[in-house]
Structure 1
């Protein structure tokens, strides 16, 4: 049966029940508590896609251990600009979360964030030299003053025993370690934020899918919603002044349906993910760190391997990966026709040319899809040489949509980052990409507010600073402010402060 409900006007509609929509909802409800907000999530549960805890590695990305953020310059210097940018973005997220804890908007911090040291591991003389120079450059910066370096096996064993057990005596290797690192359960955080929003009058609709959009004469949007029940489907039309597409891999299709010229030529390459998971209490107790390696020369950033401590629902486990695979779905709980549905006349050429001209992703997918269990374990043993096959189980992670854009020559190129796309009038915006967006959610959504609500900029600044005290200031340029900010959020969130480093 197909019925239709009457129009219902809103100030804001958020599409998608993940970390992005939850964060934007929190920010908007704080600065404009009287605005009407509705959320539409196509699944029965919130935070069930990329935000779900086992669909991602839970890293609080701060540039502490991710070596792809610190490339080596031709002159041998280390470019740390991206690491600083990522760290400053994460500090904004920490400030918001600390404010939410203090206001009792979310529960105890250990329900969503826990202190876990971040480490980088390299092998071979050249990479050890690179890591040492990276450490010397980064540790001189206020946001990275807690970083430590060692190439001594005994020291590394004390930090992370699994890295040294049965490792060859004459193999050069080194690590950096920063105990201010974190593990984040973005699923728990998202659900807690939505619970507060619902209690504050925000309408959160589950099992509702946005299937069409059109612009009204007054500049607002009309959305066609399919609401699913066990035995029925209700078609609902809703009007809203502003639409945010925070629907992961489905966001591009929403922006395409809206007719945004800004996404002309944009396409998506779906990539599925898998992890090896270990719940053996003995092994889990021996490893308390997130250890990132260095990708092979010429490899893509998404192939960066890491061995992670995870803390979910108070229980610790280990995770290793990611292992990429091919799947035409744009969402883990999506359709096999997702990719085909995102094809348009303006993006077919982009996608075809990236397949032809950029073989890195194709090579990665083919290599990892055809890899045997033994080959996958061999990659793990580069981190933990004594890893036993029987202790590790392969699990499915989230489904990611790699963004493809046209370059100046009209050729499709892969985009390894998160991009905010908005209409010229600011009435609709979306987030595209498959990067460390959860860690940078606050910074990304502050950008959305800046772009889409420019006339409110002066009115909202003071309220936003209630949540994010360092807003508008550079922590990297102010050692005192950086130390104060990190110490304050560490105290509230139960993390390690730079003043309490061993």
Structure 2
């Protein structure tokens, strides 16, 4: 038993991109605050933020069809797409501020320009995509988007996908060049290196056993040092639970009433990965398709160019899997132990409501590699099994809660912050768009949990994030200015130019 006791202003539980973002924001706003990080694993960004545990899409609704809804009259509602795009712009601005301030370096190590595309087959889907394109083109946030149903044009955009494709049904795609591939693992590690240089105490191999509110309003955490086996006491005025799938259990341990009647359902993701240079060099985009009828939103198939450790690869998926673990490194009892008297009815209601999801997961689990290859061949007709390997991505815990619209046991597919009424503790739950909108989500945490300081902090926030509090869709001039300036700071223009030159040389070599 250790006698170590640490008193902090802020404790961040979990060393993922969310804690890294909140810690960095707070260090800029109040440099003298003492911040302590507690992470169960041996390094930062090892769970959901890790580059192999997510698709690395800078989610800005440029290509994700599940962010745009087709109405009964055939028109397309793009309000959610606008919202997510604006949220991603906050992340771009904050990352640019960090680069300009030399707080992090080499942005190309975590962000690269990459066209974002949507791809559909079949007459009804082509009509939907055309309507979606027309609706989005009217918004300043999606200027530059192109639509084509011409196989010759599509062969220029996605040669690997069009090679030897049978033209037995209509096919169409949209393309916009302002998309990005983001290595959230690399970004997380950069931010924690920065925090370490600012005297933030980062404790790896430290697992939080309990959280209790003390009589003087502080939070007392009992923490096990997994390296030594000793138990430490950590006290703070504010606690942020950013532990990915582990957040739900910690929220329940906190005992705050806001955490009641909330459950979680774990879904694991699997991807097919190709590193064969001859295949990889034929594709340069993130291409999102449409989920099959009856499939949940997180199952949208996509074929992505990825940049990891300066190496280019292709990733296709996701295929859904199931494990009762809430984290890849979690326990087989995570799901069972998350069921409490206060959320039992909620969980049972969710089970009854989501039989289609259960059926879908069972079907996905039973797929052989060759069956997964057949799904890949909808994207790449010539895909060969020997070029592709199956990798297990991260665990995601979908939030289950009672809502007015959906009733008891409604499965949520977004990112959600649960905070105490007095703002002394907040927990992040949920999945996509997650990391892409980390800055927006953490600004919401700051707004909810530090209302007394917000007015004093606003000038600094606006210095870091110029569009804070401003609607970009209603200020197209500001949007364009910030899009161009962040692209310049993050090196997206120069990288895109060099990539294009490289692709042209490869085409010329092929032709000659």
Deviation at 1:171, TM superposition (A): 2.0
2:434 aligned counterpart, secondary structure:
coil
| Matches of 1:188 and 1:212, distance apart in 2 | 30
| Matches of 1:20 and 1:222, distance apart in 2 | 22
1:175 aligned counterpart, secondary structure:
strand
2:443 maps to: 446
1:329 maps to: 325
CA contact (8 A) 2:112 2:181 kept: yes
Q: Which moved more, 1:288-297 or 1:18-27?
A: 288-297
2:93 aligned counterpart, secondary structure:
helix
CA contact (8 A) 2:339 2:347 kept: no
| Matches of 1:6 and 1:59, distance apart in 2 | 41
Deviations 1:22-49 (A, max 9, x none): 0000000000000000000000011000
2:349 aligned counterpart, secondary structure:
helix
Are 1:381 and 2:377 an aligned pair? yes
2:508 maps to: none
2:426 maps to: 429
Deviations 1:50-104 (A, max 9, x none): 0000100000000000000001011111000000000000000000011111112
Deviation at 1:368, TM superposition (A): 0.4
Deviation at 1:299, TM superposition (A): 2.1
CA contact (8 A) 2:46 2:185 kept: yes
2:277 maps to: 281
Q: Which residue, 135, 149, 152 being the options, matches 1:151?
A: 149
1:314 maps to: 310
Q: Which moved more, 1:370-379 or 1:17-26?
A: 370-379
Deviation at 1:296, TM superposition (A): 1.6
2:180 maps to: 182
1:390 maps to: 386
Deviation at 1:411, TM superposition (A): 2.2
Runs of at least 4 residues of structure 1 off by over 3 A?
407-410
| Matches of 2:337 and 2:231, distance apart in 1 | 21
Output the TM-score relative to the length of structure 1.
0.97
| Matches of 1:196 and 1:374, distance apart in 2 | 45
Deviation at 1:496, TM superposition (A): 4.4
1:55 aligned counterpart, secondary structure:
coil
Deviation at 1:360, TM superposition (A): 2.8
2:170 maps to: 172
2:436 aligned counterpart, secondary structure:
coil
Trace 1:24-39 onto structure 2 (pairs within 5 A).
24-39=22-37
Are 1:63 and 2:61 an aligned pair? yes
CA contact (8 A) 2:117 2:288 kept: yes
Are 1:75 and 2:73 an aligned pair? yes
Trace 1:284-303 onto structure 2 (pairs within 5 A).
284-303=280-299
| Matches of 1:116 and 1:224, distance apart in 2 | 45
Q: Which runs of 5+ in 1 are unaligned?
A: none
Note the aligned Cα RMSD (angstroms). 1.4
Deviation at 1:298, TM superposition (A): 3.0
CA contact (8 A) 1:139 1:145 kept: yes
CA contact (8 A) 1:402 1:415 kept: yes
| Matches of 1:410 and 1:76, distance apart in 2 | 28
2:350 maps to: 354
Trace 1:206-285 onto structure 2 (pairs within 5 A).
206-229=204-227, 232-285=228-281
| Matches of 1:6 and 1:496, distance apart in 2 | 50
1:236 aligned counterpart, secondary structure:
strand
2:110 maps to: 112
1:122 maps to: 120
CA contact (8 A) 2:320 2:364 kept: yes
| Matches of 1:222 and 1:61, distance apart in 2 | 36
2:70 aligned counterpart, secondary structure:
coil
Q: Which residue, 396, 399, 406 being the options, matches 1:400?
A: 396
Deviations 1:405-446 (A, max 9, x none): 123486211001111110010000011111211000000000
CA contact (8 A) 1:179 1:496 kept: no
Q: How many residues align?
A: 496
Output the TM-score relative to the length of structure 2.
0.95
2:136 maps to: 138
Deviation at 1:272, TM superposition (A): 1.0
Deviation at 1:159, TM superposition (A): 1.0
| Matches of 1:166 and 1:46, distance apart in 2 | 44
Are 1:484 and 2:478 an aligned pair? no
2:3 aligned counterpart, secondary structure:
strand
Q: Which moved more, 1:333-342 or 1:204-213?
A: 333-342
Q: Which runs of 5+ in 2 are unaligned?
A: 501-512
Are 1:457 and 2:458 an aligned pair? no
| Matches of 2:168 and 2:293, distance apart in 1 | 23
Q: Which residue, 342, 362, 365 being the options, matches 1:366?
A: 362
